Amino acid sequence: MTDKTEEILKVEGLGKFFGDRAACRDVSFSLHRGEVLGIVGESGSGKSTLLKCLAGMTRPDQGTVTIAVPGQADRDLWEMDEAEREQLLPSMLSLIHQNARDGLRLGVSAGGNISEPLMTGGQRHYGSLRDVALKWLRNVEIDQARIDDLPQTFSGGMQQRLQIARGLVTHPQLVLMDEPTGGLDVSVQAKLLDLLRRLVREFNLAAVIVTHDLGVARLLSDRLMVMQGGRVIETGLADRVLEDPRQAYTQLLVSSVLQV
């Protein structure tokens, strides 16, 4: 049985500086299996830099990012060498980009996009790979008849669904989402949010979502972390933070006086 109390991610004292500007300063938190952490704040608050440090894209200047590795002891992401990160990251975490095209190979079929992470992990049987691709098309509610279609023939919302399938097919320990509904029509956003909420619960995912949309944060997150000027200024259960914000900045966010 899956242990829902299992700690998947632990961040301690993380800092990232660009010259004399602190993009992130002294950020610490933990995340457990089945839990979704929303990170909100205005542009320049540090939330995107933090996500890149968690995703193995930007090396922090301070602190540690410890993540659960299947079948091994927990590891500090930034104590690994580059070769180790490249080998382990596909099974450890997945990043869902705001622009789905950044997370897809546009010249490869829908089925090929889903299968490729499995092939990188050593799977080669064509029939099995195609069966898994068909299963994941169904999981993200894409017509299975489109398995051989190229991503550029899909709508923006369908491309995002395909990117989600590609990101989850390896059953990563951690899913990082960067504005996953950004740039989509309201009706498409609603359907995608319903899909994300279902997949998070169905697969008991540990997830971090960065968003400027407090409605998205409320719908998907168990806990919220509010950032301002690179620091975490408020954290707590999502409903508590949104309904009873303690900090003046958070109150402005919630009241929509501050544009984020």
Nearest-angstrom CA–CA distance, 235 and 243: 13
CA atoms within 13 A on the CB side of 193: 21
Cα 97 versus chain centre, distance? 8
Give the whole-angstrom CA distance, residue 241 versus residue 222.
Answer: 11
pLDDT tens digits along 114-161? 999 998 878 888 899 999 999 999 999 999 999 999 999 999 999 999
CATH of domain 7-106+173-255: 3.40.50.300
Say what the pLDDT of residue 34 is: 94
pLDDT given for residue 258 in this prediction: 45
User: Which residues are 93's β-sheet partners?
Assistant: 174
User: What pLDDT sits at residue 29?
Assistant: 98
Strands 223-228 and 36-40: parallel
Number of Cβ within a 10 Å radius of residue 157: 19
- Give the model's pLDDT for residue 257: 46
| pLDDT at position 140 | 96
The tens-digit pLDDT sequence of the chain (260 residues) is 345 579 999 999 999 999 999 999 999 999 999 999 999 998 899 999 999 999 999 999 999 999 998 788 899 999 999 998 888 888 889 999 999 999 999 999 999 999 999 988 788 888 999 999 999 999 999 999 999 999 999 999 999 999 999 999 999 989 999 999 888 888 899 999 999 999 999 999 999 999 988 989 999 999 999 999 999 999 999 999 999 999 999 999 998 744 44
Q: In what order do the strands lie in the sheet with 231-237?
A: 93-96, 174-178, 206-210, 36-40, 223-228, 231-237
- Give the domain ranges of the chain: 7-106+173-255
Say if pTM beats, i.e. exceeds, 0.85.
yes
CB 104, CB 163: distance < 8 Å = yes
